[in-house]
Amino acid sequence: MIPTSYPSKEEIARLSARMLLEIGAVNFNTKEPFTLASGLPSPSYIDCRKLISFPRIRSTLMDFMAVTVMRNAGLEAFDNIAGGETAGIPFAALVAERMALPMTYVRKKPKGYGKNARIEGAMTEGQRVLLVEDLTTDGGSKLSFVDAIRETGAACGHTAVVFYYDIFEGTTERLAEHGVELHHLCTWWDVLAEAKAQAAFDSETLDEVERFLKAPRAWQEERMAK
């Protein structure tokens, strides 16, 4: 069912951050930092995959995503919703259901047998495709998915995520250079603001996380030098 209510962008960001905190998807640990996929340390970690296990929150956030992309891009802007393997697949299915559109998914690499395809489902030349994922850090992984979609002859000029880090320079510019506009529900700054409002973590932890968010590369270099 297509959502008909349109909360403000600011209210969507605040509520999305609140829900991520509520289900324990937000993790802050300044004493024993997490190791990111890059191998670098971070005092913050977000696990958007947990959302699929919370039906009420999952449903609300997918309503938010549907209205966000329709408000920003248009109500008739897309013909197909594609999920990025693997975390984007359930979110793409939920958004496609709300927007009454076909759903496909994009593999990270060809499966190596059969048709050796990267696109699963029916995607045709000329279709306007929205790429859906759980989050983006610096936008790098999105470009590979976008290229795979475009190789079918379809167009992909938009990607939507639940969570955008918004701490690394050049992310939106990198996507824009590739002809892709990013849509998101909330960022680390929204989560930090809500965590402070709720006193969800002690003040020392929140202060250190804020220091990281303001200068992530410097914080990581400092930690690795110890």
129 forms beta bridges with: 80
Q: What is the C-alpha to C-alpha distance for residues 131 and 107, in angstroms, rounded to an integer?
A: 12
**Are residues 105 and 95 in contact, defined by beta-carbon separation less than 8 angstroms?**
no
Amino acid at 129: V
Question: What pTM does this model have?
Answer: 0.94
Q: For residue 1, what pLDDT is reported?
A: 63
Q: For residue 200, what pLDDT is reported?
A: 96
**Are residues 132 and 92 in contact, defined by beta-carbon separation less than 8 angstroms?**
yes
Q: What is the C-alpha to C-alpha distance for residues 14 and 96, in angstroms, rounded to an integer?
A: 24
Q: For residue 114, what pLDDT is reported?
A: 64
First-residue to last-residue Cα distance in the chain: 53
Q: For residue 3, what pLDDT is reported?
A: 65
Q: For residue 4, what pLDDT is reported?
A: 66
The mean pLDDT values, 10 residues at a time, for the chain of 226 residues are 79 98 97 86 96 97 96 96 97 97 94 79 97 92 94 97 95 95 98 97 97 95 84
Ordered by where they begin, the domains of the chain are 9-225 (3.40.50.2020)
